[in-house]
Amino acid sequence: MPIKFPFRNAKLNKTEQPIGLEGDHLPKHVAIIMDGNGRWAKNRGMPRIAGHKEGMNVVKKVVRHASDLGVNVLTLYAFSTENWKRPKKEVEFLMKLPVDFLNTYLPELLEKNVQVQTIGEVDALPEHTRHAVNEAIERTKHNDGLILNFALNYGSRYEMVEAVKQISVKVKSGQLTADQIDETLFENHMFTSDLIEPDLLIRTSGEQRLSNFLLWQLAYAEFWFTDVFWPDFDETLFERALYDYQNRKRRYGGV
Ligand code: IPE
Ligand code: IPE
Ligand code: MG
């Protein structure tokens, strides 16, 4: 029997009804494109970076809640390979966020048994960003609760091209034959090789596109969109997405 547990931290709008999540049918891996920080700030007459700062607090709320609910993996798109195109000051601010985030939040992550991981080309990040991230990975590596996976300097096309390069080198050196290349082998050369596939993709801010996020891994994920900007996202909306997921019928091409 599914366990029904009450809708917690409920800050319901008048139109919303309380919902019950089924505890044994949660998405195991939730991926989120946290979008709309800039517009959130602009609407308040504030600089874009104020939106990023507020967005960081929402990350904390959502991580806490995902961990409490028993989600296994939470992948958060924090910086794309295309985000380098932004003004230098904004990029610099974004590169400082992981430092601030981990300075203030690492103790709680440890207490909650969360394991920090990353996908993306982390080596190309500034030294202080890399340092903060690597320290968090190192200090949480023995934790076996929620996997908090940050996509940092991540681009799906880059990831796939890199996988092709690595496989080609192995074929050229005779370590592999072309016939041995299959979906499993390809997946094993992705940043996500150790993770289960995302079940649910959430994108905030009204945009309905992938923006180079997990193109391979999201092949059969359920998509959930909201017009709410990331700094206004909260536990209630997160649970709403999970609830909607639980009411989807996944067919994987079958009947
Ligand atoms: C998402 O918010 C955060 C990052 C991409 C780092 P945006 O900064 O894209 O905000 P909008 O989409 O411009 O409102
Ligand atoms: C996607 O958002 C990247 C992150 C959330 C980190 P963007 O704001 O960069 O995406 P586009 O430019 O609207 O497609
Ligand atoms: Mg955006």
Mean per-residue pLDDT of the chain: 94
Cα of 55 vs centre of ligand 1, distance in Å, is: 10
Cα of 229 vs centre of ligand 1, distance in Å, is: 9
| pLDDT (tens digit per residue) in 148-174 | 999 999 999 999 999 999 999 999 999
Task: Name beta bridge partners: 151.
Answer: 77, 119
Q: Report the distance separating Cα 157 and Cα 162, nearest Å.
A: 8
pLDDT of the residue at 14 = 40
Task: Name beta bridge partners: 116.
Answer: 148
Nearest-10 crossing angle of helices 127-140, 88-111 = 20
Q: Hey, which residues are catalytic here? A: 35, 83
Question: What atom of ligand 1 comes closest to residue 39's alpha carbon?
Answer: 14
pLDDT confidence tier of residue 4, bands split at 50, 70 and 90:
very low
Q: Are 7 and 18 in contact (CB under 8 A)?
A: yes
Please list every protein residue whose CB sits less than 6 Å from any atom of ligand 1: 34-39, 79, 83, 94, 205
Q: Report the distance separating Cα 78 and Cα 98, nearest Å.
A: 9
The runs of H, that is alpha helices, within 44-180 are 48-69, 88-111, 127-140, 156-172
Q: Report the distance separating Cα 132 and Cα 137, nearest Å.
A: 9
| pLDDT (tens digit per residue) in 44-71 | 999 999 999 999 999 999 999 999 999 9
pLDDT at 128 exceeding the cut of 60: yes
Cα of 197 vs centre of ligand 2, distance in Å, is: 21
Higher pLDDT, 75 or 12: 75
Phi, psi torsion values for 121, nearest 5 degrees: -90, 80
Q: Could you give the count of Cα atoms lying within 13 Å of 13 in the half-sphere of its Cβ? A: 6
25-155+197-246 folds as Undecaprenyl pyrophosphate synthetase (3.40.1180)
Q: Which two tokens stand for residue 202?
A: 């959430």
pLDDT confidence tier of residue 24, bands split at 50, 70 and 90:
confident
Cβ count within 10 A of residue 123:
7
The alpha carbon of 84 is separated from its chain's Cα centroid by a whole number of angstroms, namely 19
pLDDT of the residue at 23 = 84
For β-strands 147-154 and 115-119, DSSP reports them as parallel
| pLDDT (tens digit per residue) in 227-242 | 999 999 999 999 999 9
pLDDT of the residue at 150 = 98
| pLDDT (tens digit per residue) in 167-207 | 999 999 999 999 999 999 999 999 999 999 999 999 999 99
- Which pTM was predicted? 0.93
pLDDT confidence tier of residue 11, bands split at 50, 70 and 90:
very low
- Secondary structure class of 167 (helix, strand, coil): helix
Instruction: Find the ligand nearest to 207 CA.
Output: 2
Length of the chain: 255
pLDDT of the residue at 13 = 45
Q: Show Cβ contacts of residue 176 under 8 Å, excluding neighbours closer than 6 positions.
A: 167, 170, 185
Q: Could you give the count of Cα atoms lying within 13 Å of 33 in the half-sphere of its Cβ? A: 26
Share of the chain above pLDDT 70, in %: 93
The amino acid present at 155, given as its one-letter code, is G
